[in-house]
A and B are shown apart, each in its own frame.
Chain A
Amino acid sequence: MEIEKQELVDFAVTARKYKTLLTKKYLNRKPWVNPSAYEIQSIIPGTILSVFVKEGDIVSEGSQLLILEAMKMLNRIEMPFTARIKKINVEVGLRIPKDSLMIELEAVDGVE
C-alpha cells in the first residue's frame, strides 16, 4: 500500500486525537442527516407511475400521493399526516434512486 503518498491527519477517537491515515471507504461515507417528517423520500429505487396530488393541495392522512414501481411491485405512497403539498419533485415516468426527495410538505394551521 502507498502509505507515503498520503498525509497524516488528526483523528478523534473519544477524547484523544491520533495521527493516522484515512481509508477510501471512510472518506466516502455519507454524513448523517436528521430526517424531516415533512420530506417524503423514496424507500427503494424505482419509477414514478402516477402522481395523485398537486402543489398547494391540502391532503389528509392516509390519502394516496403517488405510485412508485420498484422490483415489479406497485408501491402506494400515502400521506403520513394531514398537511399541504409544498413541492413535488417528481413526475410520471421519472426513474429515481433510493432516498430521493419526492414530495415536500408544510404544516396547515389548525391541523396537528
Chain B
Amino acid sequence: MTLKKNILALRQKKAIVEKGGGDKAIEKQVAMGKMTARERILNLLDANSFHEYDLFVEHEERNFGMDDKVLAGDGVITGTGTINGAPICIYAQDFTVMGGSLGLKHARKITKIMDHALRMKVPCIGINDSGGARIQEGIGALAGYGEIFYRNTMASGVIPQISVILGPCAGGAVYSPALTDFVFVVENISKMFITGPNVIETVLGEKISQEDLGGARVHAEITGNAHFYALSEMECLDQIKKLIDLIPHSNQQKAPKVEPKAPKSLKNIENIIPADPKQPYDVRDIIYALADDSYFLEVHELWAANIVIGFGRLNGETVGFVANQPMYLAGVLDCDSSDKAARFIRYCDAFNIPIITLEDMPGYLPGVDQEHAGVIRHGAKMLYAYSEATVPKITVILRKAYGGGYIAMNSRHLGADFMMAWPSAEIAVMGPEGAANIIFRKEIMEAEDEDAMRQQKVQEYIEKFANPYVAASKGYIDAVIEPMETRGMLLHALEVSKNKDDYRPAKKHGIPPF
C-alpha cells in the first residue's frame, strides 16, 4: 500500500515542523511565561477550526551560514479558522524559530494570508512575537516589512485588522500594528519600541528597562498605541473574542445582530449625574444604564481617560459610544482625547456602526503644553471625523456643552441626525462664570461690591442661558427629554435611521489633519 506509506510520511513531516524551534526552545518560551505560537492560535480559535497554510515554506537565504539552517515554517504560522463561528485569517510569529525573526519568506506567508483575508472579506489577526528583522537576509527582511505595511494600508477600512503583541515587537516591526485597527497588549509580555533600551543607552547614556520604555502599561496608558490591555495571555485572547463578536466582518456587512436585552438596572439613570455641574461622576454608569444587558466593551480604557469610547449594543445591534468622562480632567477635550475619539469615530463610520455621543464637557484643556503639542491640529481631527461620518449619528447632551467643545461633540452643525438634551443640559458659548465676566464686565467693575455683582450676573446668565432651551428654540436640539426616556429614544432613532442615505462629494480622499 504505497498511499498509506505516503500518508505516514506526511504525518511525520508535519509533526516535525509543527514542533517549531524544538523542545529546548519551547521550554525557554514557556519559562518566559509565554504560550507557543500554536497554542495561542488554538486557544483563540474555535475547537478544530484552525486550518494551516504554508506549513512547508522554507527560506531561500544562502549567505552567512543560512544555507544549512532549517527554520520550521520560516518562523510564522498562518491559516484560517473561526472565532465563535466568525471566519477569520490569522498569523502568529513563532519566537522559538530563530527568535521569530522576519525574513522574506516569513513575510510572504503573512502577506499571502492578508491578501486572502482581503479577498474573502474576513478579519485578519496578527500575533506578533519576534526579535525583528532577520539580519542575515538584509534587504529581503526590509522588503518583507514594507509589503506587510502596504497590505495593512490597503485593507484598512475594508476588513478589521487586529494586532496582538505577545512578545517583543521592535524597530520597523511596530508599524504593522500601528497601521491596524486594534492593538492588544499583555502585562510583562508585550514590548514595543522603535529604538530599544540598548540604543538609547549608547546614544544618550539613559538607562531604562524594556518595560518602562515600551511595556504593555506604557502603551495602554501613556502612548495610546495599545487599545486593549490584559494581565495574562488568556485574558487577552478573551478580549479579542469579545471584540470579534461585536464588529462586522467587513465594511460591506453590518455587525452580527444578537437577541436584544434590556439593561440590567444597575443604577437609576436619573440619579447618576450630580446636580452641581462642578461635581464628577463616572459616565460609564450612563452607558451601562443605556446599553443592552448593560454590556460595554471599552476601547483605550487607560489612555486619555477624559473621554470614553467603546462598543455596546442597542436592540441587539452594535453601536459605538463616545462619551466625555467628567471623572478625569473634568472631561475636557485635549490632544489625546481628540485623537482617541477621532480614530474611533472613523472606525465606526468605515464599518457601518452607528455612533452614540454622550456629552458633558467644559471645553478644551488650557495650557502651554497643550497648545504647543498641537491641540488645534488634534482637536480638528474630531471635527473632521464627525463631519465626514455618514453612519447614523446621535447625540445626547447630559450636562455641560460649552463653546468649541459643543460644536466638536457631534453637534447638529456637523451633521448629527438626532440631537437630544436632558433638562440638566447647559448649552452655551462658555461656562456662566466666564461669560458673565465678559458680558457684564462694566457693570461688575463699576459696582460697589464687585463680588456680589459678579455672583448676581453669573446667576442671571445661568438662568437665561445655561439650559437646553435656547438651543432647542433654534432647532439645534430636536428634543429635550427625561433621562428615563433616553434608551427608548435611542432605539427609536436607530430604527428611523435604518435606511439612512447621506452623500458626500466625490473625491479620491479627504485630507484629515493628521
Contacts and interface: CB of A to CB of B under 8 A. Distances in A.
B77 interface: no
Contacts of A29: 367, 369
Given A3-B327, A25-B222, A29-B369, A19 B280 contact: yes
A45 B431 CA distance: 43
B365 interface: yes
Interface stretch (B10-18, B168-176, B184-192, B328-336): B328-336
A32 B367 CA distance: 9
A30 to B, nearest CB: 7
Given A14-B362, A45-B203, A21 B336 contact: no
Contacts of A30: 369
A26 interface: yes
A53 B330 CA distance: 51
Contact of A13 (B203, B221, B332, B368): B332
A75 to B, nearest CB: 14
A95 interface: yes
A32 B368 contact: yes
A22 B278 CA distance: 15
Contacts of A23: 304-306, 328-329
A9 to B, nearest CB: 10
Interface string A72-109: 00000000000000000000000101000000000000
Interface in B201-244: 203-206, 221-222
A5 interface: no
A20 B324 CA distance: 13
Given A22-B328, A22-B329, A95-B204, A13 B280 contact: no
Contacts of B277: 18
B71 interface: no
Contact of A15 (B222, B280, B431): B431
Contacts of B203: 45-46, 95
Contacts, number: 81
Given A8-B280, A15-B431, A32-B369, A25 B330 contact: no
Q: How large is the interface on A (under 10, 10 to 19, 20 to 34, 35 or more residues)?
A: 20 to 34
Interface in B361-393: 362-363, 365-369, 372
A44 B363 CA distance: 35
A97 B208 CA distance: 14
Nearest to B337: A23
Interface in A1-45: 1, 3, 8, 11-26, 29-30, 32, 45
B280 A21 contact: yes
A15 to B, nearest CB: 4
A50 to B, nearest CB: 18
B330 A18 contact: yes
Interface in B317-374: 326-332, 336, 362-363, 365-369, 372
Interface residues of B, number: 38
A16 B204 contact: no
B48 interface: no
Given A1-B302, A97-B206, A18 B221 contact: no
Contacts of B206: 97
A2 to B, nearest CB: 11
Interface string B266-306: 00000000000111101000000000000000000110111
Contacts of B301: 1
A74 to B, nearest CB: 15
A18 B328 contact: no
A103 B63 CA distance: 50
Contacts of A15: 431, 433-434, 437
B426 to A, nearest CB: 11
Nearest to B279: A19
A92 to B, nearest CB: 15
Contacts of B306: 23
B434 A20 contact: no
A60 to B, nearest CB: 32
Contacts of B329: 11, 20-23, 26
A33 to B, nearest CB: 10
A20 B279 CA distance: 7
Contact of A24 (B222, B432, B437): B222
B28 to A, nearest CB: 34
A18 B204 contact: no
A48 to B, nearest CB: 12
Contacts of B142: none
10 contacts: A8-B280, A13-B363, A13-B365, A15-B431, A16-B432, A18-B278, A20-B331, A21-B280, A32-B369, A97-B206
Given A13-B363, A45-B204, A97-B206, 9 more contacts: A13-B365, A14-B431, A14-B433, A14-B434, A16-B362, A16-B433, A20-B330, A23-B304, A23-B328
